[in-house]
Structure 1
Amino acid sequence: MAHPSTEHPPADGPWRIHEVAPDFRLYGVWDLPTPGGAGDFPKLVHLFAAGDTADNPSRIARLLFAIRWKLGALFGWDGAGAGIGSRVQSLRERLPSDLREAPPGPAFPTLPFSPVFLLEREAAAEMANRTVHGVLHLRWVPDGTGGYHGQMAVLVKPNGLLGRMYMAGITPFRHLLVYPPLLRGIGEDWRRATAQRCADPHGRA
């Protein structure tokens, strides 16, 4: 379920990302089909870090991602001078001392994100290009029945008029064609990983 971008769900916060990125706009919050226990949040973070847009279960979503990467190459949106540490400063430079001492989290080998921080039930990763500086925010919230589940939030700081036009242009595609199959895929991956852990809690092959 997607929460309106102007509202926070009841279980929200106070999240540390709002201290770090107060100038970023919240574009949406999505409940994730990832039921678990209090200590399962790191598994969710590693599941996201291992993701790949080419694995999206929707053929249309995969096509849209492929078109986006082609356009980025054509117009130079994703060049080396457009990313973290070049066009924009990393959010890690803004971290208060306690977050700076915390582990940043796992790397994203196939996605254009860099980890910012990882806490017991909150994590953030960032990306930047010529259009936006964006944050993927993951959190682990109570489900009201004694368990927990994940939430994904997207925070964005558009880069001028180009960034605002870009975000306006992709919003209907994100909400209608990209995120629904993405969330279903996350749920399927979570169920498979959970079943494997239940079958062999010691991780044996």
Structure 2
Amino acid sequence: MKLPKTAHTSRPWRIHELTRDFAVEDVWALPTPGGPDDFPRLVSQTVSGDNFPEGAPLVVRVLWAARWKIGALLGWDRPKSGLGSRVASLRDRLPDDLREAPKGPESAAFPLAPVYLLKDEWAAELANSTVHTVMHMGWVPDGAGGYRGQMTVLVKPNGRLGAVYMAAIKPFRLWFVYPALMREIGRSWRAEAEGRPSARTQ
């Protein structure tokens, strides 16, 4: 479910200290019900990236593939356009306590670089010729005694190119990519929960 931007900005996340020059683009409630200690499972599932976009509808797979082909053709994703080249990593902004915190898991299947991991908060980032973007995951009370994940995408467009790019992809993100991603996150979460020993013995 898509949430208002205040669902992110009203919470005392540490990411606010690092992204004052970023805009909150999207905030989503994730279909990942759980307990207070289940956040590491959400982070691990996100980084594994096993079934997205492969498990998404055809239109999403086509859009996903087209983005990377266009990026390759136009040179959007060259190393010189990324972190440490065109833009500095958010890790360069970390205060001492966050610098000492774990970064979180990494995977070749997941294109974003981890920034920091806390008990209820995780951030990862990606930069190319169009944008510097941050994916923020949080673990929040669901109002019914449990918890769920919350995902926020923050962006810093790279000039006019980045602004045009973000405007062009917005309908595809909201109508196709995010709904498919939410379904896949929910499916994977349920499947993993059903496979855990505690779930099998209930």
Quickly say closer, same or farther: Cα 1:109–1:178, change in 2 above 3 A.
Answer: same
Give matches, 1:67-106, under 5 Å: 67-106=66-105
Question: Residue 36 of structure 1 corresponds to which residue in structure 2?
Answer: 34
**Aligned-pair Cα RMSD in Å:** 1.5
Distance 1:161 1:31 in 2: 30
Task: Report how far residue 9 of structure 1 moved.
Answer: 2.0
Alignment-derived partner of residue 45 in structure 1 = 43
The answer to whether the 8 Å contact 1:113/1:126 transfers is yes
For normalisation by structure 2, the TM-score amounts to: 0.94
Does the CA-based 8 Å contact 1:115-1:125 persist in structure 2?
A: yes
Q: Give the AA of the match of 2:17.
A: E
Distance in 2 between the 1:176 and 1:17 partners? Answer: 27
Between the aligned partners of 2:79 and 2:200, the Cα distance in structure 1 is 43
CA distance in 1, matches of 2:125, 2:8: 25
**Structure 2: any 5+ residue segments left out of the alignment?**
none
One-letter code of the match for 2:2?
A
Partner of 1:153, secondary structure, is strand
Rounded to whole Å, the distance in 1 between the matches of 2:130 and 2:8 is 31
| Contact 1:51 1:111 (8 Å CA) reproduced | yes
Residue type of the alignment partner of 1:58: P
Quick check: 1:112 aligned with 2:111?
yes
Aligned residues: 199
Unmatched 5+ residue regions in structure 1? none
Identity of aligned residues (%): 55
Deviation at 1:111, TM superposition (A): 2.5
Q: Shift of residue 58 of structure 1?
A: 1.6
- With the length of structure 1 as denominator, give the TM-score of the two structures: 0.93
User: Do the aligned partners of residues 133 and 191 (structure 1) sit closer, same or farther apart at CA in structure 2, a change above 3 Å counting?
Assistant: same
Q: Is residue 8–residue 152 contact of structure 2 (8 Å, CA) maintained in 1? A: no
In 1, the alpha carbon distance for the partners of 2:162 and 2:91 equals 22
Residues 57 and 10 of structure 1, relative CA distance in 2, 3 Å threshold: closer
Report the equivalent of 2:18.
Answer: 20
When residues 37 and 20 of structure 1 are mapped into structure 2, their CA distance, relative to the original with a 3 A threshold, is: same
